[in-house]
Structure 1
Amino acid sequence: MSRPLYQVADVLERNEESLSAYTGNTWQLRTLHALRKCRTAALGGHIDRCDNGQCRQLQLSYNSCRNRHCPQCQGHKREAWIRARGSELLNVPYFHVVFTLPDTLNQLCLHAPKTVYTILFGTAWGVLRDFGADPKFLGADMGMVAILHTWGQNLSLHPHLHCIVPGGGITANGKWKYARNKGKYLFPVKAMSKVFRARFVESLRKEFDRPRSFYDKLFAKDWVVYAKRPFASPQYVVEYLGRYTHKIAISNHRITSLADGRVSFTAKDYRKGGAVQLLGLSDAEFIRRFGLHILPKGFVRIRHYGILSSSRKKMVLPLLMAEMGRCTPEEKPPPILHRRCPRCKEGTLVTVFMFDGRGPPEHWMVKLENQNRNTPNKTA
């Protein structure tokens, strides 16, 4: 994929002096400044040399912020996560289930995001777990991987949980039991929606002292839970899920213009079949909306439950794979080559010098300038 013409960091940089006016708390402000400085001289950097004797190319790189909200820092993390999950795939159908909170709760999400989102995770898993345990629907112990997203395509607040659920579970005798129709049907979504709403509101009552009218409004709305049809194959699950795990509110590639103090970006309108439209926001509004999706410090947005939890999967998954076969070969995947030399495509970049925010010494800059002046660009 080609480099984007514009970046979220560009918007933050040109509004550096006024960022504090657009954010709700110091953690959001700290995060925005980290994104603004990402891969710039402000964070320091390093000089690498290709270990290929016929190349020996020098390359100057600035350090990444490594913040989970940064559009520039998710690629390697996503690839590593996908590889780790690939070895855990069961040879069964998988469902994509989404639990969505109504917009009535948006203000509460802004006021107490950690509490509300924790309730969302717990309630979603409780619904799936109990439906799975009910012999009327399955009668087995299930698992789930859940990823929290808080945004809509226009950057508005839209909290929802993406859940990947195996189409079945483990019975009391330790055997795998498929969901209905050989795992092609999970549970009735209308029933799940009602139970999800009731349990979520019950948990809210325990945490927040709000008037009865507030909770009446929540029950007046239909809550959205839907389950997409099973994936074409288990191997596709992790690749699909990889799109969601390290996704952020907006990618740099969606930004089409930064002009006259406004940000233009593309967005899909799902009410019109996913048609792409062009939206425009002022810098201030763009930054404000982006800040809505900065999660509280330390909040875990990817969670594993049931037979897929870290405490159980090491024991359970090998037994199930022995029973049903593996989805992927049991072999070590090739290394991630993000340190490959971009010039010769053969050597590996080895760091030869690191520097702080003051920048590299002058003699290194002279070497780089001479190299760039005398060496033809073979990547062109």
Structure 2
Amino acid sequence: MAARMEDLLPVEYFHVVFTLPTPIADIAYQNKSAVYGLLFKASAQTLLTIAADPKHLGARIGMTSVLHTWGSAMTHHPHVHVIVAGGGLSPDGTRWAACRPGFFLPVKVLSRLFRRLFLEGLLMLHQAGKLAFFGNLSELADPDTFAAHLVPLRKANWVVYAKPPSAARRRYWLI
């Protein structure tokens, strides 16, 4: 069913993208269900947590997420696109708390929390035996090797961006 313009809230919308770094994308390729599920969970929790923080928006937000597993170069490039309204309900549910025009949430803050939540979740998946490794990743089955593999990822910048969508994207959402 196609959405209609009048079905949207009369507020600014934002397009937020959470991308997995290549060393994690390789793990995701061999563990699609577990890692893609974690990608959805960590990205949503990141947005909900930062948006609820009174230092940022102080609101309960809603979102729609879509998984893309391939990039424009047709290489494995898992990332989640999130469409989110530029605001949300106040904690008591009595008013709309709008974000600043043209600015949703700070991407550096989003990126750091997303990185932490995702890596913690990935480690828990490994400890629970829910990840399998084959070929050149088979050594990651060992807990110590896996933990060492994650160390440089804890300090790396993870790609998260948020911007108002283009007019073309807004039309696409309505299809």
TM-score under structure 1 length normalisation: 0.39
Q: In 2, distance between residues paired with 1:106 and 1:170? A: 35
- The aligned amino acid for 2:59 is A
Aligned to 2:133: none
Q: Secondary structure at the match of 1:208?
A: helix
Question: Where does 1:123-134 land on structure 2 (aligned, <5 Å)?
Answer: 123-134=42-53
Residues 1:187 and 2:102 are matched in the alignment: no
Residue in structure 1 matching 2:16, options 69, 93, 97: 97
Q: Which has the higher helix share?
A: 2
- The aligned amino acid for 2:54 is P
Structure 1: which 5+ residue stretches go unaligned? Answer: 1-79, 244-380
Q: In 2, distance between residues paired with 1:231 and 1:147? A: 17
Q: Deviations over 1:155-213 (max 9, x none)?
A: 11000011111000011142111112xx4211110111111101100001110144321
Q: Is the 8 A contact 1:149 1:159 kept in 2?
A: yes
Residue in structure 2 matching 1:229, options 143, 150, 164: 164
Q: In 2, distance between residues paired with 1:215 and 1:85? A: 44
Residues 1:212 and 2:147 are matched in the alignment: yes
Aligned to 1:141: 60
Q: In 2, distance between residues paired with 1:173 and 1:107? A: 42
Report the identity percentage. Answer: 40
Q: Which has the higher contact order (CA 8 A, sep 6+)?
A: 2
Structure 2: which 5+ residue stretches go unaligned? Answer: 128-142
- The aligned amino acid for 2:173 is L
Aligned to 2:139: none
The aligned length equals 157
Aligned to 1:121: 40
Residue in structure 1 matching 2:87, options 160, 168, 171: 168
Question: Where does 1:54-65 land on structure 2 (aligned, <5 Å)?
Answer: none
Q: Secondary structure at the match of 1:84?
A: coil
Q: In 2, distance between residues paired with 1:217 and 1:97? A: 25
Q: Is the 8 A contact 2:20 2:158 kept in 1?
A: yes
Q: Is the 8 A contact 2:12 2:164 kept in 1?
A: no
Q: In 2, distance between residues paired with 1:134 and 1:106? A: 30
Q: Deviations over 1:17-61 (max 9, x none)?
A: xxxxxxxxxxxxxxxxxxxxxxxxxxxxxxxxxxxxxxxxxxxxx
- CA shift for structure 1 position 229: 3.1
Change (3 A) 1:220 1:174: same
CA RMSD of aligned residues (A): 2.0
Aligned to 2:70: 151
Q: In 1, distance between residues paired with 2:50 and 2:158? A: 17
